[in-house]
Amino acid sequence: MAGNSFGYVLRVTTFGESHGEGVGVIIDGCPPRISLSPEDFVHDMRRRRSGRHNFDSPRKEEDQVEILSGVFEGQTTGAPLALFIRNRDADSRPYDVLRQLFRPGHADYTYFKKFGHFDFRGGGRSSARETAARVAAGVVAGKILGPLGVEVTAHTVELGGIKAEAIDPGFVKKSPFYCADPAASERMKEAINNAKEQGDSLGGVVEIRVTGCPAGLGEPVFDKLDADLAKAVMSVGSVKGVEIGAGFEAARLKGSENNDPIAPDGFEANRAGGILGGISNGDEIVLRAAMKPIPSIYMEQDTVDREGSAAKIKLTGRFDVCTIPRIIPVLEAMVLLVLADHYLRSRAIR
């Protein structure tokens, strides 16, 4: 009800705040007898973690995932998985200013209006730290989908206005920004460094591609696969737009250009992005998410205090310049969660 759960058969509920005890997730509906250990989370948690590059927030969290329940002798039991990630390196002092002032572009104003008070330390519940729990859940979703051969990979197609043009999929893992274009990746780095020097921040666009997804996932009408993907991706803080396949470009095409012809060995084009009528068609699923620049900047900004009087705010603390690259595993996790949920749903109603 209060919006902290996602999914229908595979139901995840996250909890926790940036500077509280930690963040965690309960996963209900995970099938039994899937092998799972704390090591399974290490790779993705590290990708989401800050402090790896000189351009991200210097906050350092080990982000070790504790499995509090649901696993016995190395295998899931069908009981709820509880995963917990302790907060260790939290410094709340720079947030004391939020006792009075709202940060532009942040949730402070709306949380205060809605709840009357809020845990402002590090952004509290609205902090990107909550996404650590999503990434952990995504690992489990990936395990559920494993036998299908589904692969979800995201890459950056735009950062700070710089577009990836020469796509070299092999370069994605080498680029600190998951960018498939080596030259663009280099220019993105410069843009990040420039913005950092100015105390400013940047946005970007990420494309997520899914291979190996069988036809038939997704439900007609409301719980369309693309509708659930849109919600999943838009629920990640800072995402302001999402598109599937040709997306906004499709609005400029004619039907004769946009329809993907069907041939005996599959679709001859993929402007649909792998989804027709809300159901996967067996082709690659392609979606893109647009992220606004991080609202935490070091420049002085106009705001008001809790009583509504004009004020100036100048933030101190540790911030990333751009949600990319740390948002990459989060977006992948959300897509995995949607697919795993719809996969399990499809097994109930055949």
Q: Which 315-344 residues touch its own copies, going by CB under 8 A?
A: 344
Total number of residues that touch its own copies (CB under 8 A): 152
Dist. CA 44–CA 133, nearest whole Å = 11
Kindly report the number of other CB atoms within 10 A of residue 176's CB atom. Answer: 17
CB nearer to its own copies: pick between 139 and 315: 315
Residue carrying the six token digits 């990746």:
185
Using the rule CB under 8 A, is 74 a contact of its own copies? no
**Angle of the 328-348 helix axis to the 131-145 helix axis, nearest 10:** 50
310 binds its own copies, rule: CB under 8 A: yes
The owner of tokens 């039994």 is 32
Residues 149-168, one symbol each (x = binds its own copies by CB under 8 A, - = not), give ---------x-xx-------
Residue choice 53, 187, 292, 318 for contact with its own copies (CB under 8 A): 292
Stretch of 35-43, 102-110, 145-153, 165-173 contacting its own copies, by CB under 8 A: 102-110
Which range in 11-19, 50-58, 168-176, 325-333 contacts its own copies by CB under 8 A? 11-19
Residue 121 CB, shortest distance to its own copies, in Å, is 8
55 binds its own copies (CB under 8 A): no
**Span from 52-60, 145-153, 170-178, 238-246 in contact with its own copies (CB under 8 A):** 238-246
Q: What are the residues facing 118 on neighbouring strands? A: none
> Quick one: 170 or 309, whose CB is closer to its own copies?
309
Binding segment (CB under 8 A) for its own copies, from list 52-60, 89-97, 108-116, 165-173: 108-116
Least distance CB 237 / its own copies (angstroms): 7
Hey, which residues between 198 and 237 contact its own copies (CB under 8 A)? 200-205, 215-216, 218-224, 226-235, 237
Work out which of 55, 118, 177, 178 binds its own copies, going by CB under 8 A: 118
Half-sphere exposure of 336 (CA within 13 A, CB side): 28
Looking at residue 226, its amino acid is: D
Cα 312 to Cα 302: distance, rounded to the nearest angstrom: 5
Binding its own copies (rule: CB under 8 A), the pick from 39, 93, 114, 197 is: 114
> How many residues are there in the chain?
350
Burial letters 59-98, b for 16+ CB under 10 A, else e: bebebebebeebbeeeebbeebbbbbbbbeebeeeebebb
What is the rounded CA–CA span in Å between residue 279 and residue 157?
26
Compare residues 59 and 125 and give the one whose CB is closer to its own copies.
125
Interaction with its own copies in 248-287: which residues (CB under 8 A)?
248, 250-264, 268, 271-273, 275-282
Which member of 130, 181, 207, 332 binds its own copies (CB under 8 A)? 130
Q: 155 near 264, Cβ under 8 Å?
A: no
Spatial distance between the Cα atoms of 5 and 126, rounded to a whole number of angstroms: 15
Structural contact between residues 332 and 143, judged by C-beta atoms closer than 8 angstroms:
no
Is the CB of residue 332 less than 8 Å from the CB of residue 145?
A: no
Question: In whole angstroms, what is the distance from residue 303 CA to residue 108 CA?
Answer: 11
- Segment contacting its own copies by CB under 8 A, of 40-48, 74-82, 147-155, 169-177: 74-82
Q: Is 220 helix (H, G, I), strand (E, B) or coil?
A: coil
Under the binding rule (CB under 8 A), the answer on residue 93 touching its own copies is no
Does residue 294 interact with its own copies by CB under 8 A?
Answer: yes
